[in-house]
Amino acid sequence: MNYKDFMASPKRDCAIIVHRGIWRDAPENSLLAIERAIAGGFDVVEIDIRKSADGEFVLLHDDTLKRMAGLAAAPEQMSAAELAQVPLRNRNGAPRMA
């Protein structure tokens, strides 16, 4: 079932949606945060999508990478390969603990 049909179904119970994944000990909008939401049994993960300089989709809520990686650059100013090398911080700005 796709998302639209799932949300429109009158037979489903209340959907539990997580915003940016489970980012308590993972960077928000990261694959780790999304995987934790799936493992936790949540129905939907709401994510924020932007584009890199070379047109690839990336997940980031903010206008720049300042809060999540300490860089003043916007994702639109970097290639997908460059963005893939940027270490992300947890939501509170602390370095990610594996």
Structural domain includes residue 46? yes
Torsion of CA 74, 80, 82, 87, to 10 degrees: 80
Residue whose structure tokens are 């997940």: 59
Please check the confidence at residue 94 and state whether its pLDDT lies above 80: no
CA nearest neighbour of 53 among 29, 32, 83, 31: 83
Structural domain includes residue 54? yes
Structural domain includes residue 68? yes
Structural domain includes residue 51? yes
pLDDT digit string (tens) for 41-80? 998 999 999 999 999 999 999 999 998 899 999 999 999 9
Structural domain includes residue 95? no
Domain containing 30 equals: 16-84
Structural domain includes residue 53? yes
Structural domain includes residue 8? no
Structural domain includes residue 89? no
Number of structural domains the chain divides into: 1
Q: Are 66 and 72 in contact (CB under 8 A)?
A: yes
Give the pLDDT confidence score for residue 96 in this predicted structure.
58
Provide the whole-model pTM.
0.75
